[in-house]
């Protein structure tokens, strides 16, 4: 099966009981048992729900793993994955991970004794230097948010295997349409499905795919024990979103390419961050490990005043957190998504007050460029 076909025919097709082409929303908490323990695969909806199960089978198929899991948000998914570790375990993470990931590692999971070190994983040597006897995993986000840095997944997974560590990849930005980390050697792939997978700014969800029967058993145990599951209605909405992921990603990509070209040539723009640019330091790896570069672009206009001016002038770019939906969104990471990262650390990373991030939607690109032209003038 090719990619777009798998998005539509992967997982569980329709409903065998009625012939319904779309998987029904099983809005139910419990299931009748024919005698104690005599159930039809479902006992209680925290443990398993048919609609959520269909979504979990679908994400498993499109990421090419062994089992899928759906959670109430991306952060719930990330937290559940971290619950695979014990007090005293150490995880090495990409330094400009999603702000919420940084926060949960440094303000919540640290209290439970899970230690984190953040390094620039786009240079693999930085990972090796931080491996300790207690290190259990390498956690990558690639491309990163908002600087679009790229880590060589295959290279990192090879280091992980050598030291008997798990490789975990947050694949939110690329989606399995462009990048399938398990094929590159990752053990666990996770998503904020709130973004491209949902695609319509109408659902908050998280997904995880694991690549072994043991991890599947362990993560199901955590999911059922801690209970951060996705409800049936939202599971259904996500399946609906995923069906059009392919055509949406193609449009995001085509629009983004034109916008990047516009930004690179604009005199008010000091710097453009996009892995599709040949001048991007990790362009070759991006090209090798993903079949598309995605719809996220960041650019620096030099100062907070100029950034404010752009944000206040645009009309088709909605000022909002989040990304990956059909409508174009614009944000200033330093003041919004990355506000939970201390200022000194932000500046170390290059997340300046003049840095603008856009999530390019699937509107007509001529309108988007006209909008940016006016806002930058
Ligand atoms: C949004 C996001 C998350 C968190 O997901 P939620 O669904 O908001 O909980 C994690 N990783 C990345 C890359 C994200 O963009």
Of the candidates 310, 94, 268, 292, the one whose C-alpha atom is nearest the C-alpha of residue 180 is 292
- Ligand 1 contact, 72 CB (< 6 A): no
Task: Report pLDDT for 258.
Answer: 98
pLDDT digits (tens, 9 = 90+) for 106-148: 999 999 999 999 999 999 999 999 999 999 999 999 999 899 9
Q: Cβ contacts of residue 8 below 8 Å, gap of 6+? A: 243
The per-residue pLDDT for 248 is 98
Nearest C-alpha neighbor of 144 from the set 153, 132, 135, 131:
153
Query: In sequence order, what are the beta bridge partners of 300?
Result: 271, 355
Q: What does the pLDDT read at residue 337?
A: 80
Cβ atoms 327, 361 nearer than 8 A: yes
How far is CA 233 from each of CA 15, 84, 128, 242, 312, rounded to the nearest angstrom?
Answer: 16, 27, 43, 14, 36
The preferred substitution site among 74, 101, 171 for testing ligand 1, maximizing ligand atoms within 8 Å of CB, is 74
What is the per-residue pLDDT for 350?
84
For residue range 147-159, list pLDDT tens digits in order.
999 999 999 999 9
Is the pLDDT at 235 greater than 90? The verdict is yes
* Distance separating alpha carbons of residues 242 and 198, to the nearest angstrom: 6
302 lines ligand 1 (CB under 6 A): no
pLDDT tens, position by position, 59-87: 999 999 999 999 999 999 999 999 999 99
> Does 193 score more than 80 pLDDT?
yes
78 is written with which tokens? Answer: 């990330």
Does the beta carbon of 355 sit less than 6 angstroms from any atom of ligand 1? no
Spatial distance between the Cα atoms of 221 and 98, rounded to a whole number of angstroms: 26
From the candidates 6, 136, 195, 248, give the one annotated as an active-site residue.
195
Residue 21: the pLDDT is 94
Phi-psi sector, 169: left (phi>0), alpha (psi -120 to 50), beta: beta
Is 195 among the catalytic positions?
Answer: yes
Tell me the best of 70, 73, 78, 98 to mutate to test the pocket of ligand 1, counting ligand atoms within 8 Å of each CB and taking the most: 98
Inter-residue long-range contacts of 301-306, CB under 8 Å, 24+ positions, other chains counted: 301/268, 301/269, 301/270, 301/354, 301/356, 301/376, 302/270, 302/354, 303/353, 303/354, 304/332, 304/353, 304/354, 306/268, 306/354
What are the tokens at 218?
């362990």
Peptide bond into 375 cis (omega under 30): no
Three-state DSSP at 27 gives coil
Which tens digit of pLDDT belongs to each residue from 321-345?
Answer: 889 999 999 999 988 888 877 888 8
Q: Tell me, yes or no, if 60 is annotated catalytic.
A: no
Tell me if residue 98 is catalytic: yes
The answer to whether 7 and 55 are in contact (CB under 8 A) is no
Is the CB of 151 within 6 Å of ligand 1?
A: no
Q: Does the beta carbon of 172 lie inside 6 Å of ligand 1?
A: yes
The beta strand positions in 240-315, using DSSP E, are 271-273, 296-300
Cα 290 vs. chain centroid, distance in angstroms? 14
Q: All domains of the chain, ordered by start, with CATH?
A: 3-243 (3.40.640.10), 246-376 (3.90.1150.10)
Per-residue tokens: 80: 């559940």
- 95 CB contacts (<8 Å, ≥6 apart)? 118, 119, 120, 121, 349
């Amino acid at each position: 099966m090719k990619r777009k076909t798998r998005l539509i025919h992967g997982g569980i097709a329709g409903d065998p009981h009625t012939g319904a082409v779309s998987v029904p929303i099983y809005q139910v908490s419990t299931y009748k048992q024919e005698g104690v323990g005599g159930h039809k695969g479902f006992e209680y909806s925290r443990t398993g729900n048919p609609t959520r199960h269909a979504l979990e089978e679908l994400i498993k198929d499109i990421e090419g793993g062994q089992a899928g899991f759906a959670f109430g948000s991306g952060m719930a998914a990330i937290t559940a994955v971290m619950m695979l570790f014990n007090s005293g375990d150490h995880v090495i993470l990409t330094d400009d991970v999603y702000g919420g990931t940084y926060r949960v590692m440094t303000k919540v999971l640290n209290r439970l004794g899970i230690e984190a070190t953040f390094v620039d994983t786009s240079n693999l040597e930085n990972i090796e230097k931080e491996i300790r006897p207690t290190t259990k995993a390498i956690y990558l986000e690639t491309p990163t948010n908002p600087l679009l840095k790229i880590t060589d997944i295959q290279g990192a997974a090879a280091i992980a295997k050598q030291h008997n560590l798990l490789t975990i990849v947050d694949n939110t930005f690329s989606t399995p349409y462009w990048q399938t980390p398990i094929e590159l050697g990752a053990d666990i792939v996770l998503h904020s499905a709130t973004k491209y997978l949902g695609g319509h700014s109408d659902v908050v969800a998280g997904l995880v795919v694991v690549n072994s029967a043991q991890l599947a058993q362990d993560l199901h145990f955590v999911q059922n024990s801690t209970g951060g599951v996705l409800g049936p209605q939202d599971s259904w909405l996500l399946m609906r979103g995923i069906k059009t992921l392919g055509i949406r990603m193609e449009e995001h990509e085509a629009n983004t390419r034109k916008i990047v070209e516009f930004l690179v040539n604009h005199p008010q723009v000091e710097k453009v961050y996009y892995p599709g640019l040949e001048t991007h330091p990790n362009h070759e790896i991006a090209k090798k490990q993903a079949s598309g570069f995605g719809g996220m672009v960041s650019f620096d206009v030099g100062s907070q005043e100029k950034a404010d001016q752009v944000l206040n002038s645009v009309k088709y770019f909605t000022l909002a957190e989040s990304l990956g939906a059909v409508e174009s969104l614009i944000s200033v990471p330093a003041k919004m998504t990355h506000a939970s990262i201390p200022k000194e650390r932000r500046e170390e990373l290059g997340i300046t007050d003049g840095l603008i991030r856009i999530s390019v939607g699937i509107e007509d690109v001529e309108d988007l460029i006209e909008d940016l032209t006016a806002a930058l003038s």
